[in-house]
Amino acid sequence: MKASEVLQQYAQGERDFRGVNLRGLSFRNQDLSGANFSGADIRSTNFQGARLQGTQFVKAKAGLQKSRMILLLISALLLVALSGFCYTLNAYFIVLIFDTSSSGSMVAGWVSLVVWVTFLIVLWHQGILAAITTVAVLVAIAVALVAVVAVGGVMAGAPTSAAAIAFDIAFTRGGTFAVAMVFVGVGMGAGAIAGAGAGAGGMALAVASTIAGIMAEIVALCCAVTVAASLSGSLAGSLSVAGALTVSITVAIAAGVNFYIARRAMKGDEKHTLIRKIAVTFAAIGGTSFQGADLTEANFTGAVLKSTDFRSANLTRTIWKKAKWLDRARPGKSILAQWKVRELLVSGKGYRQDFSKADLRGANLTHADLSYTNLTQADLSKAKLQSANLEGANLTEVNAIDTNLTQAKLTAACIEAWNTDSKTQLDQIQCDYIYLLNHQQERRPSSGIFAPGEFTQLFQEVFNTVDLIFKDGVNWRAFVSAFKQVQVENEETELAVQSIENKGDGVIVVKVNVPAHSDKGKIHSSFIQNYELKLQALEREYKTLLQIKDSQIESYKRESVNLMEVTKLLASRPINNNAIANSESASRHIQGGTGNYSETNVKEQKNYIENQYNQAEQEILTKAADDIQQLLNQLSQTHPINTSTEKMKVAIEAIHEVENNFSLSERILSALRVGGIQALRQMLEHPAATFVLSAIDDWYKVKNQK
């Protein structure tokens, strides 16, 4: 199928291109989002800069076409042959040890041997780059020393021939040896290049490349010996069995080093990262290219991805599960460049592994097993861990901004100082309990387990909030009054208290949920202004109460003994028939006999009337208290009351119910006029009673002001 046909069908709404042959086609900068290329042959296909969001490449085959693969292998064999010649050239310098006719040659041979052994030791422990650097330094030092000796000999009147030999060792042989050692690295990467391009047959090709290199070294050795014999006949004569054995050992070591480096480089050995990068880069030339493409949530499950270029591609939440030869792809600076992370993305297995400080931005770890994994300070922003197993995982200081943790298992995980935001998805989290501090400290809940959905309610960050900060504690009477006033001023805006946080040192932060489109600055300013006014009003009220306390007590005493005032008060209230009958009976009793009022009769009448007044008060207070208690019990069935925030919400809801029920509000107002808020407080038993009565008291004062 041609590229134009694919694009035409896609434009017409076709999305199913499973199993099609797209070898060598170009879709550069095209939009193929949502297309299904599962099982397609996309070797050497160019998707550079394409938009491929959600595109399916399940079990697709990427990499090099056969013709390009053959060119790659030929290039690798040529590089091995070049390396073989360089190895043989180095062997030639080592064989100079046996040139007994020239002390200068013997010195050069021994220096070459020392440098060669040092090269192999550093290579084994630190890698090719460190080895070449070390050799370069040693050769430079050796050349400098020999040069100094030669110059010193000339100045001391040494024979000109000796000086010439020294200069020959210092510059001609030393320089040639240094160049040869640099080119040794070429052969070390040749086997790796073959492996990077050939996939499963990479190791066999590396062995074949090594054998070819040995053959090239033998040919090069013959050439080197011939040249050496023409330059120095004594060398040919001294190249005895020992010399031949030395060359053979050198060639064998060279072959072994080539094989070893190729194998370790493609296994991801960090010491040989340079060789691996060069090999992968070389092998990706002409392969499938996704350079700069948008592969957000694309699916490469089971795809073959050797010799594929992913440089600068957007790999956010891309699926790599069971992808093959992803380590042979060119990752650029993406998360695929990390060997351990790449293995996790492919296998989905991270049980008890250490990924502390790992870059997992945009990683797709759906259903991954990360139980008891150390993810301390890892970057999981924009990652997808839907249904992942994070039981017992250490998530201390994890960056979980815009991370999808839907249905993830978090039982026994530590979330100390983790960083989340409103885009962090914590829906349907499966969690019995978590720890807020490392080493299983500060368990939440302190006992028992979370109810379904409770974890999300506690830890889901809500972005659309107004933060009210109180530096010297909170006067909750003033808060409720101010909050209610702000609700009235913004009646079309839904406001609700999200949380109350005690930051220590008297600092309290109350988070209020507001709609996304609301003017947060206006709401915040309005609340602060109303809160300050209410504080000032309460302060004046407290001062006034203190000033009139004594005179008010005396006034109450006078009113209690004033019979006429009590009678007028009772006359203004409804009296039942029993009370009237009792009153008439009492009157007849008082007027009986002489028909005169005695002091004793007057006291009895006053006590009787006072008792009737107390009983009426009690009935009003009891009825109001029963109404409030019933209201609290009803609200408790639909509103939790475990925290101060929840109790405050119940208080606000209670005021709302009172205001919308005329008969209830009148009964409560009557009770407050008779006995005040303290009388009701003594008659209620409920965890939220204090909050509700404070709100009712403020509501009552507002009513009186009107």
* Model confidence pLDDT, tens digit, residues 621-632: 788 888 888 888
| Cα distance between residue 368 and residue 293, in whole Å | 26
Distance in Å from the first CA to the final CA of the chain: 83
Residue 445 preceded by cis peptide, ω within 30: yes
Dihedral sign for Cα atoms in the order 499, 503, 509, 511: negative
- Please provide the DSSP assignment of 483-519 as one string: HHHHHHHTTTS--EEEEEEEEETTEEEEEEE--TTS-
Find, among 254, 279, 255, 256, the residue nearest to 266 by Cα.
279
Q: What is the pLDDT of residue 610?
A: 44
How confident is residue 61, by pLDDT bands cut at 50, 70 and 90? very high
| pLDDT greater than 90 at residue 330 | yes
Q: What is the pLDDT of residue 24?
A: 92
Distance CA 213, CA 26 (A): 37
Partnered with residue 509 across adjacent β-strands are 469, 501
Top pLDDT among 443 and 149 is at: 443
Q: Check residue 608 and give its pLDDT.
A: 45
Banded pLDDT at 560 (limits 50, 70, 90)? very low
Whether 334 contacts 310, CB under 8 Å: yes
Q: Which of 27-41, 474-488, 662-676 has the highest mean pLDDT?
A: 27-41
Quick one: average pLDDT of 246-255? 66
Region for 408 from its dihedrals, namely left if φ exceeds 0, alpha if ψ lies in -120 to 50, beta otherwise: beta
Least confident of 41-50, 70-79, 204-213, 514-523: 204-213
CA neighbor of 138 nearest in space, from 118, 122, 167: 118
Rounded distance, CA 654 to CA 150, Å?
103
For position 71, what pLDDT does the model report? Answer: 77
Question: Which run of H or of E encompasses 586?
Answer: helix 577-591
Mean pLDDT, residues 54-70 taken together? 90
CA distances from 407 to 180, 384, 387, 404, 426 (A): 60, 11, 5, 9, 8
- The pLDDT of residue 271: 77
Does residue 505 surpass a pLDDT of 80?
no
Region 52-64: what's the mean pLDDT?
Answer: 96
What is the spatial distance between Cα 11 and Cα 24, in angstroms, rounded to a whole number?
Answer: 21
Q: How sure is the predictor about 654, in pLDDT bands with cuts at 50, 70 and 90?
A: confident
- pLDDT surpassing 90 at residue 675: no
Predicted local confidence at residue 584, as pLDDT: 43
Predicted confidence (pLDDT) per residue in 435-450, tens digit: 999 999 999 999 999 9
* Backbone angle region of 458, left / alpha / beta, with phi > 0 → left and psi within -120 to 50 → alpha: alpha
Name the residue with higher pLDDT: 263 or 459.
459
Instruction: Say if residue 48's pLDDT is above 90.
Output: yes
Q: Where are the alpha helices (DSSP H) in 562-643?
A: 563-571, 577-591, 599-638
Of the given ranges (347-351, 387-391, 420-424), which has the lowest mean pLDDT? 420-424
Q: Structure tokens of 129?
A: 């780059």
Give Cβ neighbours of residue 326 (< 8 Å, ≥ 6 apart). Answer: 305, 320, 336, 342, 345, 346
Measured CA to CA, the distance from residue 653 to residue 483 in angstroms comes to: 12
Q: How far apart are CA 661 and CA 634, in angstroms?
A: 15
> In order of start, what are the domains of the chain with their CATH numbers?
66-280 (no CATH), 467-538 (3.30.70), 562-705 (no CATH)
CA neighbor of 515 nearest in space, from 488, 547, 490 = 490
- DSSP letter at 121 equals H
* Antiparallel, parallel or unpaired: β 308-309 and 288-289: parallel
The answer to whether 54 and 34 have CB atoms below 8 angstroms apart is yes
pLDDT at 410: 97
